A and B are shown apart, each in its own frame.
Chain A
């Protein structure tokens, strides 16, 4: 199975900050990398697919990059509603494994 490792596991930031979360795959996954946001008690919400494509309806302050094994999710200017947990997921081969998550908290 492909292992997905996110860093950091948690992060404290302030409204207006620029934040970057990284995700590393244990083997190459081309650009088959998705990012999700999850708030407590809710289902995850797709933010990015194909490493850098913004899902419809997602604000443009979210962006993604990377290919191969190393990927990043960037939030250009944090808004209060962005404090949540973020997961990466590879869809290159089954099982479509997830990273362990990054909890973004208010500083």
Chain B
């Protein structure tokens, strides 16, 4: 049974950075992308970005460009999301989630949805 296990809760000062990890166990890392989705208190879901580890491709939402870096370590089946220049509005639960992709040679499609999610990591930004 595939599981995504995320690192623990973080409390950060405004202006600092946070790095959250997401380790996949029980399944192959290579056929999937790993997305990061956040949810502010009482709010909806917001897509932050994703990485396709086997291709080393990343995509970020424009809103987070320049502040977010998503990486992966294939040897440990772990994805990371680092968010810098933190502000109070970044207080949220951050989830990682897996999505299978189809390689068409020159492009990739993401048809199967985010089928496995981590448990979430609460990031609190407060002075």
Chains A and B form a bound pair:
yes
Q: Which residues of A contact B (CB under 8 A)?
A: 1, 32, 34, 36, 38, 43-46, 48-50, 55, 87, 89, 91, 94-101
User: Which B residues touch A91, using CB under 8 A?
Assistant: 99, 110-111, 113
How far is B113's CA from A1's CA once the two chains are assembled, in angstroms?
18
Q: Which residues of B contact A (CB under 8 A)?
A: 35, 37, 44-47, 49-50, 59-62, 95, 97, 99, 109-115, 117-120
How many A-B residue pairs lie within 8 Å, measured between CB atoms? 71
Is there contact, CB below 8 Å, between A95 and B62? yes
Measured between C-beta atoms, what is the minimum distance from B59 to chain A in Å?
Answer: 4
Q: Given A32-B110, A49-B113, A87-B44, are A95 and B59 also a contact pair (CB < 8 Å)?
A: yes
Is there contact, CB below 8 Å, between A44 and B62? no
Max chain A Cβ within 10 angstroms of own Cβ: one of B47, B50, B61: B47
Is there contact, CB below 8 Å, between B44 and A98? yes
A sample of 16 more A-B contacts (CB under 8 A), given A43-B119, A46-B114, A48-B113, is A36-B114, A43-B97, A44-B114, A49-B115, A50-B111, A89-B114, A91-B110, A95-B49, A95-B61, A96-B35, A96-B110, A97-B47, A98-B37, A98-B45, A98-B46, A99-B44
